[in-house]
A and B are shown apart, each in its own frame.
Chain A
Amino acid sequence: MSLTTGLKSKLGLNVFKESSKFHIRIKEGKEKDPRLQKAVLVCPAGLYSQNPEGEVVLSSDGCLECGTCLIACGRELLDWEYPEGGSGVQFRFG
Protein backbone atom coordinates (compact mmCIF):
# COMPACT_ATOMS: atom_id res chain seq x y z
CA MET A 1 0.00 0.00 0.00
CA SER A 2 1.47 3.34 -1.00
CA LEU A 3 1.68 6.05 1.61
CA THR A 4 -0.95 8.14 -0.21
CA THR A 5 -3.60 5.42 -0.31
CA GLY A 6 -2.72 4.67 3.31
CA LEU A 7 -3.52 8.27 4.20
CA LYS A 8 -6.81 8.24 2.27
CA SER A 9 -8.00 5.10 4.00
CA LYS A 10 -7.00 6.49 7.39
CA LEU A 11 -9.06 9.63 6.76
CA GLY A 12 -11.93 7.31 5.82
CA LEU A 13 -11.99 6.08 9.42
CA ASN A 14 -12.97 9.48 10.76
CA VAL A 15 -16.49 10.80 11.21
CA PHE A 16 -17.07 13.82 8.96
CA LYS A 17 -20.28 15.80 8.72
CA GLU A 18 -20.90 17.72 5.55
CA SER A 19 -21.03 21.49 5.51
CA SER A 20 -22.60 23.72 2.91
CA LYS A 21 -19.26 25.14 1.80
CA PHE A 22 -15.63 24.29 2.40
CA HIS A 23 -14.10 26.50 5.05
CA ILE A 24 -10.64 27.11 3.54
CA ARG A 25 -9.92 28.89 0.25
CA ILE A 26 -6.72 29.77 -1.49
CA LYS A 27 -6.81 33.48 -2.21
CA GLU A 28 -7.16 34.41 -5.83
CA GLY A 29 -3.87 35.01 -7.57
CA LYS A 30 -1.87 33.24 -4.86
CA GLU A 31 -2.06 29.74 -6.35
CA LYS A 32 1.59 29.79 -7.39
CA ASP A 33 3.00 31.45 -4.31
CA PRO A 34 6.08 29.48 -3.22
CA ARG A 35 4.97 29.65 0.43
CA LEU A 36 1.77 27.91 -0.56
CA GLN A 37 3.74 25.06 -2.10
CA LYS A 38 5.03 24.32 1.38
CA ALA A 39 1.48 23.56 2.51
CA VAL A 40 1.88 20.30 0.59
CA LEU A 41 4.48 19.23 3.16
CA VAL A 42 2.67 20.23 6.31
CA CYS A 43 -0.98 19.27 5.80
CA PRO A 44 -1.51 16.05 7.78
CA ALA A 45 -4.50 15.17 5.60
CA GLY A 46 -2.62 15.69 2.32
CA LEU A 47 -5.25 18.10 1.02
CA TYR A 48 -2.81 20.36 -0.80
CA SER A 49 -1.20 19.31 -4.07
CA GLN A 50 0.40 20.93 -7.07
CA ASN A 51 -1.19 20.59 -10.51
CA PRO A 52 0.78 20.35 -13.78
CA GLU A 53 0.42 24.12 -14.26
CA GLY A 54 2.34 24.65 -11.03
CA GLU A 55 -0.69 25.88 -9.13
CA VAL A 56 -1.44 24.60 -5.65
CA VAL A 57 -4.93 23.13 -5.41
CA LEU A 58 -6.86 22.25 -2.30
CA SER A 59 -9.09 19.23 -1.90
CA SER A 60 -11.93 19.60 0.58
CA ASP A 61 -12.27 15.96 1.61
CA GLY A 62 -11.01 14.96 5.01
CA CYS A 63 -9.87 18.23 6.59
CA LEU A 64 -8.87 17.64 10.23
CA GLU A 65 -9.27 21.35 11.08
CA CYS A 66 -5.82 21.26 12.65
CA GLY A 67 -4.85 24.75 11.48
CA THR A 68 -1.35 23.83 10.27
CA CYS A 69 -1.86 25.37 6.82
CA LEU A 70 -3.00 28.64 8.38
CA ILE A 71 0.09 28.76 10.60
CA ALA A 72 2.31 27.91 7.62
CA CYS A 73 0.74 30.21 5.02
CA GLY A 74 -1.07 32.90 6.96
CA ARG A 75 -4.12 34.94 6.04
CA GLU A 76 -2.28 36.55 3.16
CA LEU A 77 -2.62 33.33 1.19
CA LEU A 78 -5.64 31.64 2.73
CA ASP A 79 -9.21 32.52 3.63
CA TRP A 80 -9.52 30.31 6.64
CA GLU A 81 -12.44 29.91 9.01
CA TYR A 82 -13.84 26.97 10.92
CA PRO A 83 -16.63 24.96 9.28
CA GLU A 84 -20.09 26.00 10.39
CA GLY A 85 -21.28 24.65 13.74
CA GLY A 86 -22.04 20.93 13.82
CA SER A 87 -20.18 20.17 10.59
CA GLY A 88 -16.71 18.97 9.69
CA VAL A 89 -14.69 16.35 11.53
CA GLN A 90 -16.18 15.00 14.76
CA PHE A 91 -13.51 13.16 16.72
CA ARG A 92 -14.80 10.11 18.58
CA PHE A 93 -11.56 9.63 20.52
CA GLY A 94 -9.46 12.80 20.19
Chain B
Amino acid sequence: MPYQNENDGFEVIVVGGGLAGLAAAYILADRGVEVLVLERGDYCGAKNVTGGRIYLNPVREIFSQLLKDAPFERHIAHEEVSLFAASRSLTLRYDGSELGDPPYQSYSVLRAKFDRWLARQAEKKGAMLATKSRVDDVILENGVVKGVRAGGEELRANVVIACDGVLSLVSERAGLRKDIQPQYYAVGIKEVIEMDRKAIENRFNLEGEEGVARLFMGDVTAGMFGGGFLYTNLDSISLGLVVSIKDLLENQREVIVSDLLERFKQRSEVSLLIKGGETVEYSAHVIPEGGFNALNSLYGDGILVAGDAAGFALNIGVTVRGMEYALASGYYAAQTVLHAREKGDYSRATLGLYRQLLEDSFVLKDFKSFRDALSVLNSPRLFQHYPELLGNILRDLYWIPPGPKDRLYSTVRRYLGVREVWQALGDVRRMSKI
Protein backbone atom coordinates (compact mmCIF):
# COMPACT_ATOMS: atom_id res chain seq x y z
CA MET B 1 0.00 0.00 0.00
CA PRO B 2 2.31 2.73 -1.18
CA TYR B 3 -0.03 5.59 -0.29
CA GLN B 4 -0.55 4.53 3.27
CA ASN B 5 1.32 6.49 5.86
CA GLU B 6 3.44 3.99 7.75
CA ASN B 7 4.55 6.50 10.39
CA ASP B 8 1.17 7.45 11.70
CA GLY B 9 2.18 11.04 11.02
CA PHE B 10 2.20 13.24 7.97
CA GLU B 11 3.16 12.23 4.51
CA VAL B 12 5.47 15.21 4.09
CA ILE B 13 6.76 17.87 6.48
CA VAL B 14 8.27 20.98 4.95
CA VAL B 15 10.44 23.01 7.31
CA GLY B 16 10.35 26.68 6.37
CA GLY B 17 7.63 28.59 4.55
CA GLY B 18 9.83 30.53 2.15
CA LEU B 19 9.94 30.18 -1.61
CA ALA B 20 11.44 26.68 -1.75
CA GLY B 21 9.17 25.26 0.94
CA LEU B 22 6.00 26.85 -0.35
CA ALA B 23 6.76 25.85 -3.94
CA ALA B 24 7.18 22.24 -2.81
CA ALA B 25 4.03 22.35 -0.67
CA TYR B 26 2.03 23.91 -3.50
CA ILE B 27 2.97 21.16 -5.97
CA LEU B 28 2.50 18.33 -3.45
CA ALA B 29 -0.87 19.58 -2.18
CA ASP B 30 -2.04 20.01 -5.75
CA ARG B 31 -1.35 16.30 -6.26
CA GLY B 32 -3.30 15.35 -3.17
CA VAL B 33 -0.34 14.74 -0.88
CA GLU B 34 -0.77 15.50 2.80
CA VAL B 35 1.81 18.18 3.52
CA LEU B 36 2.51 20.25 6.62
CA VAL B 37 4.56 23.45 6.38
CA LEU B 38 6.25 24.65 9.59
CA GLU B 39 7.13 28.35 9.59
CA ARG B 40 8.80 30.01 12.57
CA GLY B 41 7.61 33.55 11.75
CA ASP B 42 4.21 35.06 12.53
CA TYR B 43 3.47 34.63 8.83
CA CYS B 44 5.37 33.42 5.80
CA GLY B 45 7.88 36.07 4.76
CA ALA B 46 8.28 37.43 8.30
CA LYS B 47 11.86 36.14 8.49
CA ASN B 48 12.80 36.49 4.84
CA VAL B 49 14.86 39.17 3.17
CA THR B 50 15.65 39.73 -0.48
CA GLY B 51 17.49 42.52 -2.29
CA GLY B 52 15.60 42.01 -4.39
CA ARG B 53 14.43 40.93 -7.66
CA ILE B 54 13.24 37.67 -9.12
CA TYR B 55 13.96 36.43 -12.64
CA LEU B 56 11.03 34.60 -14.14
CA ASN B 57 12.28 32.99 -17.34
CA PRO B 58 13.84 29.91 -15.71
CA VAL B 59 10.66 29.10 -13.75
CA ARG B 60 7.98 30.42 -16.06
CA GLU B 61 7.18 27.02 -17.48
CA ILE B 62 7.06 25.01 -14.26
CA PHE B 63 4.90 27.61 -12.50
CA SER B 64 3.00 29.02 -15.48
CA GLN B 65 -0.39 29.28 -13.76
CA LEU B 66 0.85 30.21 -10.33
CA LEU B 67 3.00 33.20 -11.25
CA LYS B 68 0.40 34.93 -13.42
CA ASP B 69 -1.25 36.73 -10.51
CA ALA B 70 1.77 37.02 -8.26
CA PRO B 71 2.07 40.26 -6.27
CA PHE B 72 5.34 41.48 -7.72
CA GLU B 73 6.36 45.10 -7.36
CA ARG B 74 7.65 46.54 -10.66
CA HIS B 75 8.92 44.86 -13.82
CA ILE B 76 12.52 45.87 -14.37
CA ALA B 77 12.72 47.88 -17.57
CA HIS B 78 15.90 49.78 -16.81
CA GLU B 79 19.24 48.40 -15.68
CA GLU B 80 22.08 50.54 -14.41
CA VAL B 81 25.50 49.66 -13.12
CA SER B 82 27.70 52.25 -11.45
CA LEU B 83 31.38 52.13 -10.59
CA PHE B 84 32.09 54.23 -7.53
CA ALA B 85 35.45 55.68 -6.58
CA ALA B 86 36.02 57.93 -3.58
CA SER B 87 34.58 61.11 -5.08
CA ARG B 88 33.22 60.21 -8.48
CA SER B 89 31.16 57.58 -10.19
CA LEU B 90 30.60 56.25 -13.63
CA THR B 91 27.26 54.79 -14.69
CA LEU B 92 26.17 52.59 -17.55
CA ARG B 93 22.46 52.38 -18.32
CA TYR B 94 20.79 49.63 -20.30
CA ASP B 95 17.17 49.88 -21.37
CA GLY B 96 14.92 50.06 -24.42
CA SER B 97 12.04 48.06 -25.78
CA GLU B 98 13.75 44.67 -25.38
CA LEU B 99 13.61 45.19 -21.62
CA GLY B 100 10.43 47.26 -21.51
CA ASP B 101 8.12 44.95 -23.47
CA PRO B 102 6.41 41.85 -22.01
CA PRO B 103 7.00 39.11 -21.10
CA TYR B 104 9.19 40.83 -18.53
CA GLN B 105 12.23 38.90 -17.44
CA SER B 106 12.47 40.21 -13.90
CA TYR B 107 10.49 41.97 -11.20
CA SER B 108 11.31 43.73 -7.97
CA VAL B 109 9.74 41.97 -5.03
CA LEU B 110 9.16 42.31 -1.27
CA ARG B 111 9.13 39.01 0.56
CA ALA B 112 6.67 39.69 3.37
CA LYS B 113 4.02 40.37 0.76
CA PHE B 114 5.09 37.77 -1.79
CA ASP B 115 5.59 34.83 0.57
CA ARG B 116 2.30 35.46 2.36
CA TRP B 117 0.56 35.35 -1.00
CA LEU B 118 2.38 32.17 -2.01
CA ALA B 119 1.42 30.57 1.31
CA ARG B 120 -2.25 31.31 0.60
CA GLN B 121 -1.94 29.66 -2.83
CA ALA B 122 -0.44 26.53 -1.25
CA GLU B 123 -3.16 26.50 1.42
CA LYS B 124 -5.84 26.79 -1.25
CA LYS B 125 -4.43 23.60 -2.77
CA GLY B 126 -4.77 21.89 0.60
CA ALA B 127 -1.38 22.33 2.25
CA MET B 128 -1.44 22.76 6.03
CA LEU B 129 0.49 25.71 7.37
CA ALA B 130 1.59 26.08 10.98
CA THR B 131 3.15 29.48 11.64
CA LYS B 132 5.03 30.48 14.83
CA SER B 133 6.48 26.96 14.78
CA ARG B 134 10.20 26.62 15.24
CA VAL B 135 11.73 23.26 14.49
CA ASP B 136 14.25 22.33 17.19
CA ASP B 137 15.58 19.03 15.92
CA VAL B 138 15.09 16.17 13.51
CA ILE B 139 14.00 12.70 14.59
CA LEU B 140 16.82 10.42 13.49
CA GLU B 141 16.50 6.64 13.74
CA ASN B 142 19.48 4.61 12.49
CA GLY B 143 20.52 7.51 10.31
CA VAL B 144 17.06 7.83 8.77
CA VAL B 145 15.11 11.08 9.20
CA LYS B 146 11.67 10.20 10.55
CA GLY B 147 10.31 13.65 11.27
CA VAL B 148 11.05 16.71 13.37
CA ARG B 149 10.72 17.99 16.91
CA ALA B 150 8.95 21.32 17.27
CA GLY B 151 7.64 23.01 20.39
CA GLY B 152 8.14 19.87 22.49
CA GLU B 153 6.18 17.72 20.04
CA GLU B 154 7.36 14.89 17.84
CA LEU B 155 6.01 15.29 14.33
CA ARG B 156 6.64 12.23 12.20
CA ALA B 157 6.58 12.07 8.42
CA ASN B 158 7.58 9.83 5.56
CA VAL B 159 9.90 12.54 4.32
CA VAL B 160 11.12 15.94 5.51
CA ILE B 161 11.97 18.72 3.07
CA ALA B 162 14.42 21.12 4.72
CA CYS B 163 13.80 24.60 3.35
CA ASP B 164 14.86 26.41 6.48
CA GLY B 165 17.17 28.89 4.88
CA VAL B 166 20.87 29.55 4.61
CA LEU B 167 21.74 28.40 8.15
CA SER B 168 19.57 25.27 7.81
CA LEU B 169 19.71 23.84 11.30
CA VAL B 170 17.60 20.94 10.05
CA SER B 171 20.11 19.71 7.48
CA GLU B 172 22.90 20.34 9.99
CA ARG B 173 21.17 18.06 12.50
CA ALA B 174 20.66 15.49 9.77
CA GLY B 175 24.41 15.55 9.11
CA LEU B 176 24.11 16.94 5.59
CA ARG B 177 25.97 20.22 5.98
CA LYS B 178 29.56 21.13 5.31
CA ASP B 179 31.52 23.08 7.90
CA ILE B 180 30.86 26.79 7.81
CA GLN B 181 33.44 28.72 5.80
CA PRO B 182 33.03 32.51 5.83
CA GLN B 183 34.39 32.87 2.29
CA TYR B 184 31.29 31.09 1.01
CA TYR B 185 28.89 33.61 2.52
CA ALA B 186 27.98 37.26 2.17
CA VAL B 187 25.81 39.47 4.32
CA GLY B 188 23.10 41.58 2.71
CA ILE B 189 21.76 44.61 4.54
CA LYS B 190 18.90 46.71 3.32
CA GLU B 191 16.59 49.59 4.04
CA VAL B 192 13.11 49.82 2.63
CA ILE B 193 12.48 53.50 1.99
CA GLU B 194 8.90 54.53 1.49
CA MET B 195 8.20 57.09 -1.17
CA ASP B 196 5.18 58.34 -3.04
CA ARG B 197 4.51 56.27 -6.13
CA LYS B 198 4.45 59.27 -8.47
CA ALA B 199 7.65 60.62 -6.94
CA ILE B 200 9.39 57.31 -7.69
CA GLU B 201 8.15 57.30 -11.27
CA ASN B 202 9.22 60.89 -11.86
CA ARG B 203 12.59 60.52 -10.20
CA PHE B 204 13.60 57.37 -12.06
CA ASN B 205 11.84 58.20 -15.35
CA LEU B 206 9.48 55.26 -15.10
CA GLU B 207 6.33 54.75 -17.11
CA GLY B 208 3.53 53.19 -15.04
CA GLU B 209 4.72 50.02 -13.31
CA GLU B 210 8.14 49.99 -14.88
CA GLY B 211 10.98 49.68 -12.43
CA VAL B 212 14.71 50.22 -12.33
CA ALA B 213 17.46 48.01 -10.94
CA ARG B 214 20.75 49.64 -10.06
CA LEU B 215 24.02 48.04 -9.00
CA PHE B 216 26.93 49.88 -7.44
CA MET B 217 30.49 48.60 -7.30
CA GLY B 218 33.80 49.79 -5.96
CA ASP B 219 34.04 52.29 -3.15
CA VAL B 220 30.54 51.47 -1.84
CA THR B 221 31.98 48.36 -0.18
CA ALA B 222 35.33 50.02 0.53
CA GLY B 223 36.78 47.77 -2.15
CA MET B 224 35.58 44.57 -0.49
CA PHE B 225 33.92 41.87 -2.57
CA GLY B 226 30.30 42.84 -2.99
CA GLY B 227 28.26 45.81 -4.10
CA GLY B 228 25.31 48.06 -3.55
CA PHE B 229 21.84 47.73 -5.00
CA LEU B 230 18.74 49.81 -5.51
CA TYR B 231 15.40 48.45 -6.69
CA THR B 232 12.24 50.46 -7.15
CA ASN B 233 9.13 48.87 -5.67
CA LEU B 234 5.60 50.22 -6.21
CA ASP B 235 5.67 52.60 -3.23
CA SER B 236 9.16 52.18 -1.89
CA ILE B 237 12.82 51.79 -2.72
CA SER B 238 14.96 48.87 -1.59
CA LEU B 239 18.48 50.14 -1.00
CA GLY B 240 21.30 48.07 0.38
CA LEU B 241 24.64 46.36 0.21
CA VAL B 242 25.98 42.84 -0.12
CA VAL B 243 29.46 42.26 1.31
CA SER B 244 31.63 39.16 1.63
CA ILE B 245 31.76 38.08 5.27
CA LYS B 246 35.34 36.92 4.88
CA ASP B 247 36.41 40.30 3.50
CA LEU B 248 34.65 42.07 6.37
CA LEU B 249 36.41 39.86 8.90
CA GLU B 250 39.77 40.58 7.34
CA ASN B 251 39.37 44.27 6.56
CA GLN B 252 42.33 46.05 8.08
CA ARG B 253 40.56 49.39 8.35
CA GLU B 254 38.01 47.73 10.65
CA VAL B 255 35.11 49.07 8.62
CA ILE B 256 31.80 48.18 10.27
CA VAL B 257 29.18 46.83 7.90
CA SER B 258 26.33 49.05 9.10
CA ASP B 259 28.53 52.14 8.66
CA LEU B 260 29.11 51.14 5.04
CA LEU B 261 25.39 51.45 4.36
CA GLU B 262 25.20 54.84 6.06
CA ARG B 263 28.14 56.09 3.99
CA PHE B 264 26.58 54.67 0.85
CA LYS B 265 23.37 56.59 1.57
CA GLN B 266 25.34 59.76 2.16
CA ARG B 267 27.01 59.65 -1.25
CA SER B 268 25.55 62.55 -3.24
CA GLU B 269 24.72 60.23 -6.15
CA VAL B 270 22.63 58.09 -3.79
CA SER B 271 21.22 60.62 -1.35
CA LEU B 272 19.53 62.43 -4.24
CA LEU B 273 17.76 59.21 -5.22
CA ILE B 274 16.25 58.62 -1.79
CA LYS B 275 15.66 62.25 -0.82
CA GLY B 276 12.21 62.80 0.67
CA GLY B 277 11.77 59.09 1.30
CA GLU B 278 11.27 57.63 4.74
CA THR B 279 13.02 54.50 5.94
CA VAL B 280 10.41 52.07 7.27
CA GLU B 281 12.44 48.90 7.78
CA TYR B 282 16.04 47.81 8.24
CA SER B 283 16.83 44.19 7.51
CA ALA B 284 19.78 41.88 7.00
CA HIS B 285 20.43 38.32 5.95
CA VAL B 286 23.24 35.96 5.15
CA ILE B 287 23.48 34.91 1.50
CA PRO B 288 25.13 31.65 0.42
CA GLU B 289 27.37 32.56 -2.50
CA GLY B 290 29.92 29.80 -2.55
CA GLY B 291 28.33 28.28 -5.63
CA PHE B 292 28.84 24.68 -6.70
CA ASN B 293 31.83 23.96 -4.47
CA ALA B 294 29.95 25.02 -1.37
CA LEU B 295 26.71 23.15 -1.98
CA ASN B 296 25.57 20.97 0.91
CA SER B 297 24.33 17.41 0.53
CA LEU B 298 21.00 17.63 -1.23
CA TYR B 299 19.34 14.52 0.19
CA GLY B 300 19.61 11.70 2.67
CA ASP B 301 17.40 8.92 4.01
CA GLY B 302 14.01 10.52 4.51
CA ILE B 303 15.16 14.05 3.77
CA LEU B 304 15.56 16.50 0.89
CA VAL B 305 17.14 19.95 1.08
CA ALA B 306 16.04 22.89 -1.10
CA GLY B 307 16.56 26.62 -1.53
CA ASP B 308 19.16 28.57 0.46
CA ALA B 309 19.37 25.59 2.84
CA ALA B 310 21.09 23.67 0.07
CA GLY B 311 23.22 26.67 -0.91
CA PHE B 312 21.23 27.59 -4.00
CA ALA B 313 22.25 31.20 -4.56
CA LEU B 314 24.66 32.36 -7.21
CA ASN B 315 26.72 35.53 -7.39
CA ILE B 316 28.03 36.16 -10.89
CA GLY B 317 28.79 39.84 -10.53
CA VAL B 318 26.07 41.63 -12.45
CA THR B 319 23.40 39.29 -11.10
CA VAL B 320 22.99 37.73 -7.69
CA ARG B 321 20.23 35.17 -7.90
CA GLY B 322 18.55 32.92 -5.40
CA MET B 323 14.79 33.02 -5.59
CA GLU B 324 14.40 31.20 -8.91
CA TYR B 325 16.67 28.45 -7.63
CA ALA B 326 14.56 28.24 -4.49
CA LEU B 327 11.32 27.92 -6.44
CA ALA B 328 12.78 25.40 -8.86
CA SER B 329 14.49 23.26 -6.22
CA GLY B 330 11.22 23.20 -4.26
CA TYR B 331 9.48 22.06 -7.41
CA TYR B 332 12.00 19.27 -8.08
CA ALA B 333 11.93 18.20 -4.44
CA ALA B 334 8.16 17.82 -4.79
CA GLN B 335 8.56 15.82 -8.00
CA THR B 336 11.01 13.54 -6.19
CA VAL B 337 8.59 13.01 -3.32
CA LEU B 338 5.82 12.12 -5.79
CA HIS B 339 8.10 9.50 -7.30
CA ALA B 340 9.10 8.12 -3.89
CA ARG B 341 5.46 7.99 -2.83
CA GLU B 342 4.65 5.99 -5.94
CA LYS B 343 7.35 3.48 -4.93
CA GLY B 344 6.50 3.65 -1.24
CA ASP B 345 10.19 4.15 -0.55
CA TYR B 346 11.84 7.25 0.86
CA SER B 347 15.34 5.88 1.12
CA ARG B 348 18.40 7.80 0.03
CA ALA B 349 18.61 5.69 -3.10
CA THR B 350 15.13 6.64 -4.26
CA LEU B 351 15.46 10.29 -3.23
CA GLY B 352 18.64 10.48 -5.34
CA LEU B 353 16.30 11.28 -8.21
CA TYR B 354 16.29 14.83 -6.82
CA ARG B 355 19.94 15.29 -7.73
CA GLN B 356 19.27 13.95 -11.22
CA LEU B 357 16.33 16.30 -11.78
CA LEU B 358 18.44 19.24 -10.63
CA GLU B 359 21.34 18.13 -12.87
CA ASP B 360 18.99 18.10 -15.85
CA SER B 361 17.57 21.53 -15.03
CA PHE B 362 18.99 25.05 -15.12
CA VAL B 363 19.72 24.80 -11.41
CA LEU B 364 22.79 22.58 -11.34
CA LYS B 365 23.72 23.48 -14.93
CA ASP B 366 24.11 27.10 -13.80
CA PHE B 367 25.99 26.09 -10.68
CA LYS B 368 28.43 24.07 -12.74
CA SER B 369 28.88 26.76 -15.41
CA PHE B 370 29.67 29.32 -12.73
CA ARG B 371 31.56 27.13 -10.31
CA ASP B 372 34.61 29.41 -10.51
CA ALA B 373 32.68 32.67 -10.41
CA LEU B 374 33.48 33.46 -6.81
CA SER B 375 37.23 32.96 -7.12
CA VAL B 376 37.41 34.85 -10.41
CA LEU B 377 35.26 37.78 -9.32
CA ASN B 378 36.65 38.08 -5.82
CA SER B 379 39.61 40.14 -6.91
CA PRO B 380 40.55 43.54 -5.49
CA ARG B 381 41.45 44.61 -9.04
CA LEU B 382 37.79 44.45 -10.01
CA PHE B 383 36.53 46.28 -6.95
CA GLN B 384 39.30 48.86 -6.50
CA HIS B 385 41.68 49.10 -9.41
CA TYR B 386 39.38 49.17 -12.44
CA PRO B 387 36.79 51.60 -10.98
CA GLU B 388 39.71 53.94 -10.22
CA LEU B 389 41.34 53.46 -13.62
CA LEU B 390 38.17 54.01 -15.64
CA GLY B 391 37.33 57.04 -13.56
CA ASN B 392 40.79 58.52 -14.15
CA ILE B 393 40.51 58.05 -17.90
CA LEU B 394 37.06 59.63 -18.01
CA ARG B 395 38.15 62.54 -15.83
CA ASP B 396 41.00 63.33 -18.18
CA LEU B 397 38.84 62.93 -21.28
CA TYR B 398 36.29 65.37 -19.87
CA TRP B 399 38.85 67.74 -18.40
CA ILE B 400 39.34 71.02 -20.24
CA PRO B 401 42.56 72.57 -18.94
CA PRO B 402 43.29 76.29 -18.86
CA GLY B 403 45.72 75.75 -21.75
CA PRO B 404 45.72 73.37 -24.72
CA LYS B 405 44.14 69.95 -24.26
CA ASP B 406 46.10 66.71 -24.75
CA ARG B 407 45.28 64.53 -27.72
CA LEU B 408 42.67 61.86 -26.87
CA TYR B 409 44.98 59.00 -27.76
CA SER B 410 47.78 60.11 -25.50
CA THR B 411 45.25 60.84 -22.73
CA VAL B 412 44.07 57.24 -22.77
CA ARG B 413 47.50 55.75 -23.55
CA ARG B 414 48.94 57.31 -20.41
CA TYR B 415 46.88 54.90 -18.34
CA LEU B 416 47.30 51.84 -20.51
CA GLY B 417 50.97 51.07 -20.30
CA VAL B 418 52.44 47.65 -21.11
CA ARG B 419 52.11 46.50 -17.52
CA GLU B 420 48.47 47.58 -17.26
CA VAL B 421 47.49 45.93 -20.52
CA TRP B 422 49.38 42.78 -19.59
CA GLN B 423 47.56 42.56 -16.26
CA ALA B 424 44.23 43.32 -17.89
CA LEU B 425 44.79 40.47 -20.33
CA GLY B 426 45.49 38.21 -17.37
CA ASP B 427 42.19 39.27 -15.80
CA VAL B 428 40.36 38.59 -19.05
CA ARG B 429 41.96 35.17 -19.22
CA ARG B 430 40.77 34.42 -15.70
CA MET B 431 37.34 35.67 -16.68
CA SER B 432 37.20 33.05 -19.42
CA LYS B 433 36.61 30.46 -16.68
CA ILE B 434 33.12 31.83 -16.24
Contact = CB atoms under 8 A, between A and B. Distances in A.
B389 interface: no
A71 B180 contact: yes
A7 to B, nearest CB: 5
Contact of B166 (A13, A67, A74, A86): A67
B166 A93 contact: no
Interface string B285-298: 11000000000000
A26 interface: no
Interface in A52-82: 64-68, 70-72, 74, 81-82
Given A13-B282, A64-B283, A66-B285, A85 B133 contact: yes
A93 B236 contact: yes
A85 B249 CA distance: 31
A11 B132 CA distance: 22
B53 interface: no
A91 B286 contact: no
A61 B113 CA distance: 25
Nearest to B45: A94
Interface string B177-200: 000101001010101100000000
Interface in B228-253: 236, 245, 248-249, 251
Given A41-B249, A71-B245, A82-B134, A3 B280 contact: no
B134 A70 contact: no
B353 interface: no
Contacts of A72: 182, 245, 248-249
Given A85-B132, A91-B111, A67 B281 contact: no
B106 interface: no
A93 B187 contact: no
A17 interface: yes
A92 interface: yes
Contacts of B150: 85
A24 B118 CA distance: 31
B285 A67 contact: yes
Nearest to B47: A65
B280 to A, nearest CB: 6
Contact of B111 (A42, A82, A89, A94): A94
A71 B185 contact: yes
Contact of B248 (A13, A14, A41): A41
B259 interface: yes
Contacts of B257: 41-44, 68
B254 interface: yes
B318 interface: no
A93 B131 CA distance: 18
A92 B112 CA distance: 6
A33 to B, nearest CB: 13
A6 B167 contact: no
A68 B112 CA distance: 21
B1 interface: no
Contact of B112 (A64, A66, A74, A93): A93
Contacts of B133: 85
Contacts of A32: none
B57 to A, nearest CB: 23
B285 A41 contact: no
A11 B284 CA distance: 11
A68 B245 CA distance: 7
A91 B132 contact: no
B281 A42 contact: no
Interface string B255-276: 1111100100000000000000
B42 A94 contact: no
Given A41-B255, A89-B47, A14 B282 contact: yes
Interface string A14-58: 100100000000000000000000101111111000000000000
A91 B48 contact: yes
A50 to B, nearest CB: 12
A14 B284 CA distance: 12
Interface string B383-421: 000000000000000000000000000000000000000
A28 to B, nearest CB: 21
Given A14-B281, A71-B182, 5 more contacts: A38-B248, A38-B249, A72-B249, A74-B180, A85-B150
5 contacts: A41-B255, A44-B258, A67-B285, A90-B42, A91-B111
Interface of A: 3, 6-7, 10-11, 13-14, 17, 38, 40-46, 64-68, 70-72, 74, 81-86, 88-94
Q: Which 10 A-B pairs have the closest CB atoms?
A: A86-B132, A94-B111, A44-B284, A66-B284, A85-B132, A10-B282, A85-B134, A67-B286, A94-B112, A93-B192
